[in-house]
Amino acid sequence: MEKQIELTSHKVLIFDVYGTLVDWESGIYNSLKTLFPKDTPREEVLQKYALAELDLQMKDPSVPYSKILDLAWVQLSGQVNTSLSRGRPAVVTEEGEVSSTAVAQQDLDLTSSTPPASDAERFGASISTWQPFGDTVQALHRLKEHFALVVLSNVDDRSFGGTHELLKLQTHESPNSRYPTVTLNSPFSLILTAQQLNAYKPDLRVLETALQQVSSAPRSLLPHPSPPWAVEEREVLVVANSLLHDIEPANLHNLNSVWISRHEKNIIGTNPDLKERGVWTWRFETLGDLADAVDQEVEEKQRVAAALHEL
């Protein structure tokens, strides 16, 4: 049963990015489909990828997400043994021995501008090319007029940097924002990644750390200062597409949440049991629908205030 509470009673929206704001499934599928027979259903390709990704993330959360993609490609292609050893994938040498050093020397250098040398590395480097959904950019910049928008993503810093550019307003006008943002044309007031937190969602510590960062609780030691504002946990709203990675952790933290269901076309993270239980507070098909609902609430409050003023 939907709680009788207003969207605009919140001050901070914590966003998942890939699947919620960005069409990551198309980006993943368009790259991985070449590994499978032509008649393999899209759903099967994505499900196999999701299992490989989750397995790799749970084995070693210190591996950057772009490298997780790289390793998932290798695992799905069946070319190497991808069991992790001390944070490195193991490969089989010509002599039949397992070696982690061989792959360590071939690792994608996240600080280098050297082009990826293999299909697996190209897949890992493709994150920043995945496109936002058509409603995303305008909706984000409408929402930032009313809330502080916080990124909480499983991606690494460098990969999100490319995505961040796609989510900025490409204009020199000064957009309205109640809270300071990381750059003038960015919609976000704070950006937190798995690389910074050294953990992947759905690990509950990820959301817990984000809550510490935006609340009046003791600050966690992250590689940037705390924002110049603080809120209570009840004023935080989680907005995401993945029931598994984001909505259920919000539920376990007793936070309100918005499921951006994307017409239920997405596969990764849409857990049937969680959907059956309806663990979200609100549901909208698109981010644009959420922005419309917020605008309607704001307009209604303004009408009520104006009517009271005339009494």
pLDDT tens readout for residues 195-244: 999 999 999 999 999 999 888 654 544 555 667 778 899 999 999 999 99
Kindly tell me if the per-residue pLDDT of 95 is higher than 70: no
SS3 letters across 211-236: HHHHECCCCCCCCCCCCCCCECHHHE
SS3 251: helix
Closest CA to 238 of 1, 12, 38: 12
**Structure-block tokens of residue 189:** 């007031």
Give the contacts of 47 (CB within 8 A, at least 6 positions apart). 267, 268
Query: Could you give the percent of the chain with pLDDT greater than 70?
Result: 81
| First-last CA distance in the chain | 36
Structural contact between residues 81 and 91, judged by C-beta atoms closer than 8 angstroms: yes
Closest CA to 18 of 159, 195, 205: 159
Q: How far apart are CA 181 and CA 246, in angstroms?
A: 23
Q: What is the pTM of this model?
A: 0.82
**Structure-block tokens of residue 155:** 């991606």
pLDDT tens readout for residues 134-153: 999 999 999 999 999 999 99
Domains and CATH numbers, the chain: 7-23+131-310 (3.40.50.1000), 24-108+116-128 (no CATH)
Kindly tell me if the per-residue pLDDT of 83 is higher than 90: no
pLDDT tens readout for residues 159-187: 999 999 999 987 755 567 778 899 989 99
